[in-house]
Amino acid sequence: MEKVSEYNMIRALMLQYQAEVEKAKSNIMVYLKNPVGIGEHPDLAGAIDSQIEIIAHAEDKIEVLKKYYSDEAAQSPNDNPLRWPRV
């Protein structure tokens, strides 16, 4: 795979995992601030736990990308290193 494609794929995955974390965090905030409005989740603790699982899974994937693919991302064709998130 050429360097542009490698960088773009790694970058796209990183952004996807970051978005999953942010979405789950937003869901948790809604559950905590407005639990009455979540009719389909009568088990609030279970609903929050499922979002925590999403965060943990996405963060694990982010760590794998950082561990195994940070070199490819840092050597982007535009010399624009991928900024790894603080998760």
For residues 33 and 71, the answer to whether their CB atoms sit within 8 Å is no
pLDDT at 73: 55
Would you say residue 85 lies in a domain? no
* Counted domains in the chain: 1
pLDDT at 35: 75
pLDDT at 41: 61
How far is the C-alpha of 81 from the C-alpha of 70, rounded, in Å? 9
pLDDT digits (tens, 9 = 90+) for 2-55: 667 878 999 999 999 999 999 999 999 999 998 776 666 678 899 999 999 999
Would you say residue 23 lies in a domain? yes
Would you say residue 27 lies in a domain? yes
Identify the domain containing residue 34 by its residue range: 3-74
Q: Name the band, by pLDDT with cuts 50, 70 and 90, for residue 81.
A: very low
Would you say residue 81 lies in a domain? no
pTM: 0.74
Would you say residue 86 lies in a domain? no
Would you say residue 84 lies in a domain? no
For residues 21 and 86, the answer to whether their CB atoms sit within 8 Å is no
